[in-house]
Each structure stands twice: as structure tokens, then as C-alpha cells.
């Protein structure tokens, strides 16, 4: 049963990479702030490797998450499927923050805009339609994370199901009190 749960999660995450409507397509990424506390934001899952549980996201090099990950290389991911009432929480470690011109060039223009605003993300604007882009200045970054652990929770009757898996335990898994 434990390995079935892990396999199902891996399958769902792989589907989410391709299927824009999958509930795991968007997830919450939490990183450690420089001074105190953490910062959360929604991101898109861009790649997931079922063999080594590596995740990939895309971002702008000037966003807070990049600075924060460079200072503290651990992050938490929260996935939630409201139809199946399943929550996944991953503890992860940064593997790399890389430029990737091959991926950037393959993106449609509307997506390139997400990584090429002249002003950095979060800077003040007079109005939303005055953002200017410079497609030659590429701030596109691919970030890859290694999963260290995953906690699975499914709400169901009569018994909720909560399972902890960790890399250090070869992803064998153990049941927890929900």
C-alpha cells in the first residue's frame, strides 16, 4: 500500500507537468527570508523526474526566491488536490539555478515576457500597462530541486490517511496519525 501511494503521487506529478488543468500543476513554494520568517508564492511545475524526485520550475533571476535560495538552499512545496482531498508537502534542497537559452528560445513570446521586464519583479509601476520588456536581456532561470521528504495526507472516512516518505529511508514510507 505504501509503495502504491508513492507511485500514484509520482504519476500525478508527472501528469501535472503536461496537463495545464491538473490540480498539482500549480503549487506553493516557500523559501526562507533573509532576516526572519518565510515567503510563499505560487509557481508552475515544469518538470518532475520520477526516478530521483527532482523538480524543476522557471523564474526570473531577480525574484526574491532566487536571492533567498542562494542564501538558504532549502524550500518547502505544498500541493493540494481539492477533488481528491489530497495534500502533499515536500521538503526539498536546491540543486541548481541555471540559465537555459535553449528552453528560453523555445518559449512563446507571451511567456518570454515573464522573464524580460526591464524593471525587476516587485518594483513599483504607475499603471499595469506600462511594463516594458527587453527580450535581449534574459533573466530566465531554471531551478532544480531534490526532494528530501514527502508527506501525503488524504482526508477520507472512516480513516484519514497520512504517510511520511523520506529519501534517507529510501522512500519506504511509514503511516502517521492523521
Ligand X SMILES: Cc1cc2nc3c(=O)[nH]c(=O)nc-3n(C[C@H](O)[C@H](O)[C@H](O)COP(=O)(O)O)c2cc1C
Interface residue list for ligand X (CB under 6 A): 26, 39, 41-44, 57-60, 63-65, 121-122
Q: How far is the CB of 28 from ligand X (least distance, A)?
A: 9
Q: Which residue has the cell 528560445?
A: 105
Q: How far is the CB of 55 from ligand X (least distance, A)?
A: 11
Residue 37 vs 158, nearer CB to ligand X: 37
Q: How far is the CB of 66 from ligand X (least distance, A)?
A: 7
Pairwise CA distance, residues 67 & 76, whole Å: 16
Other CB atoms within 10 Å distance of the CB of residue 144: 17
Residue 34 vs 172, nearer CB to ligand X: 34
CA dihedral 154, 88, 91, 32 (to 10 degrees): -120
Residue 3 vs 123, nearer CB to ligand X: 123
Q: How far is the CB of 166 from ligand X (least distance, A)?
A: 26
Strand partners, 161: 154
Nearest CA-CA partner of 84 in 1, 8, 163, 169: 8
Residue 107 vs 148, nearer CB to ligand X: 107
Nearest CA-CA partner of 38 in 30, 47, 27: 30
Q: How far is the CB of 157 from ligand X (least distance, A)?
A: 32
Residue 17 vs 57, nearer CB to ligand X: 57
DSSP-assigned states of every residue in 58-76 = EEETTSHHHHHHHHS-EEE
Amino acid at each position: 500500500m505504501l509503495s502504491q501511494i508513492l507511485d500514484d503521487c509520482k504519476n500525478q506529478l508527472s501528469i501535472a507537468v503536461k496537463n495545464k488543468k491538473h490540480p498539482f500543476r500549480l503549487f506553493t513554494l516557500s523559501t526562507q527570508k533573509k532576516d526572519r520568517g518565510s515567503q510563499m508564492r505560487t509557481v508552475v511545475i515544469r518538470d518532475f523526474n520520477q526516478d530521483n524526485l527532482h523538480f524543476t520550475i522557471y523564474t526570473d533571476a531577480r525574484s526574491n526566491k532566487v536571492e533567498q535560495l542562494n542564501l538558504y538552499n532549502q524550500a518547502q512545496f505544498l500541493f493540494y488536490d481539492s477533488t481528491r482531498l489530497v495534500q502533499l508537502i515536500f521538503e526539498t534542497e536546491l540543486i541548481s539555478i541555471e540559465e537555459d537559452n535553449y528552453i528560453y528560445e523555445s518559449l512563446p513570446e507571451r511567456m518570454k515576457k515573464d522573464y524580460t521586464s526591464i524593471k525587476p519583479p516587485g518594483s513599483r509601476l504607475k499603471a499595469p500597462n506600462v511594463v516594458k520588456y527587453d527580450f535581449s536581456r534574459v533573466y530566465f532561470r531554471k531551478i532544480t530541486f531534490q526532494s528530501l521528504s514527502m508527506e501525503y495526507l488524504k482526508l477520507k472516512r472512516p480513516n484519514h490517511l497520512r504517510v511520511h516518505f523520506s529519501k534517507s529511508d529510501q522512500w519506504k514510507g511509514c503511516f502517521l496519525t492523521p
